Chain A
Amino acid sequence: MSPVADPRALRNSVCIVGVDESDEIGSLPGKSQLTLHLEAITNAVRDAGLTITDVDGIFTAGQHSPALLGEALGITPRYVDGTTVGGCSFIIEVGHAVAALHHGLCDVAVISHGESGRSGVGVSPRRDTSLSGQFEAPFGFGGAPTLFGMVTTRHMHVYGTTLEQWAQVAVSTRKWAMLNPKALRREPITVADVLNSRPVVYPFNVLNICLVTDAGGAVVLTRADRAKDCAKKPVYVRGMGESTEHVMLTQMKDLTFSEATRIAGEKAFRMAGVAPTDFDHIMLYDAFTSGPPIMLESLGIAKRGDGVHFFADGRSTPGGTQPINTNGGGLSYTHSGMYGIFPIIEATRQLRGECDQRQVPNVKLSLVNGMGGMLSAAGTLVLSNER
């Protein structure tokens, strides 16, 4: 039998060398999705100390193909990837870029996100609805809140989780947003504010649900040997993992536990040679307040049912021992629809020490974990500023 290929050979072989948002994020009725992409790409490439002509690998997800981005940038890439499995696609694409760069299929990869999620400028008609149009829409389902709430009420039933505990996730995340000048919502909130905010769909009030914004973001990667010549301190991709479990929520085996997240996490931790409890900085995709606790449980960082305690006891907040979602998250910083690029940007900035007031001291190992759809897909990254 031939030896089994081992992804640990890819550990630390590729670095994130550039990150940035579009020129502005928030409510941008004057900018198309394509413009948000192009702003983010040019800003991130500049952050890396590179030029657009250095880019030969284009990775993106959503409505615009990598071919369109190449055309609009005026370059002819020799590697493209348009994996679109929900908001974590960009996190998954970091893994794909690592493999492509490591094997010399491209030399400088850019992963780009641009979404006019709030204003809908340059947005195409919606995609395939053959299953949701048939088996969900006739019952009043429409949009993520009407689905993710199922995960949430089931978790409450199985583990006795309370509305107050979910609210603590929003409060913790807002504390970080108050320290981020780019965050959209920066006024302080309390658990009572969350519980008294406008009911949308039980168990969610409006403060349990992410923002809806217009934003772009991009990440530039290259091999470690070349990263030394870039403008900023390199951030090593030490581990990566991905998986998908379902698309239709009825098909999810256990609504309270994401199998895709477990698999993605185990792959990433093994490749990186780290334990789930080793991280001094954590970014989790927070489309809803119940998402991050369930991810902590699915990744093996918290015991099942205990994820909410990280937020309730102050561990996750500024000054806490386990900082989580330090940019203010999708709940308070920005959420254009496919949020996954932004936790990568924040983890990179934390590992570079660029975060001013919200900087976590002595960050060496950062976890990025995102979901696509309703915990349908998952992508996990282990990032470090040390080899």
Chain B
Amino acid sequence: MELDRPLPNPITPEARPFWDGLREGKLLLPRCQSCGHVFFYPRVLCPRCHARDITWTQASGTGTLHAFEIAYQVFNKAWRVKPPYVLAMVELAEGPRLMSNLVNVEPDPRIIKCEMPVRVVFCKLTDEITLPLFEPAR
């Protein structure tokens, strides 16, 4: 089956638990054992206290739409989703932000608003890769 979007590439070793978690339907975030800071993207040290003592914690999957864009054209060669589609920066309830898509919504700036509540939708691309997408939460 032809994929409608590029796979994450490369998957870096320090992000492997994030991708493994998604395959099992879990949104995992790096957490500093020393100061408790939850952050994203994964890296070997805590960007707040700089301790190198990182574990993983399961996120609630809820958050807010921090900012968004509506794409009217395709911006990367492997992209097959028909425009318009919504590019999203989500702020998770745990604090970190990540990039994603807002789905199950009209791609209309009169409907989509910053700070609207969203929740994760797991989108299986391959046996290996599941992406965290988001939809409006009531």
Contact = CB atoms under 8 A, between A and B. Distances in A.
A134 B43 CA distance: 13
Contacts of B96: 250
B49 interface: no
B12 A140 contact: no
A203 interface: yes
A153 B9 contact: no
B104 interface: no
- Max chain B CB contacts within 10 Å: which of A139, A146, A250? A139
Interface centre among A133, A137, A249 (most CB of B within 10 A): A137
A138 B114 contact: no
A150 B97 CA distance: 12
A326 B97 CA distance: 37
A249 B131 contact: no
A153 B114 contact: yes
A131 B99 CA distance: 11
A139 B9 contact: no
Nearest to B41: A135
A68 interface: no
B60 interface: no
Contacts of A131: 41
A200 B71 CA distance: 6
Interface string A122-138: 00000001110111111
Nearest to A132: B99
Given A133-B10, A136-B99, A154 B114 contact: yes
B69 A250 contact: no
Contacts of A157: 67, 113-115
Interface of A is mostly: helix
Among A130, A151, A201, A249, find the residue whose CB has the most chain B CB atoms closer than 10 A: A201
Nearest to B19: A134
B97 to A, nearest CB: 4
A129 B66 CA distance: 24
B116 to A, nearest CB: 10
A143 interface: yes
A134 B89 contact: no
B15 interface: yes
Contact of B8 (A138, A146, A156, A255): A138
Interface of A: 129-131, 133-143, 145-146, 149-151, 153-154, 156-157, 199-203, 248-251, 255
Interface of B: 5-12, 15, 40-41, 66-76, 78-79, 81, 85, 87-89, 96-101, 109, 113-115, 125, 131, 133
The 5 nearest A-B residue pairs measured at CB: A142-B76, A142-B75, A157-B114, A202-B70, A149-B69
Given A150-B66, A250-B89, 5 more contacts: A133-B10, A138-B7, A140-B85, A202-B70, A250-B99
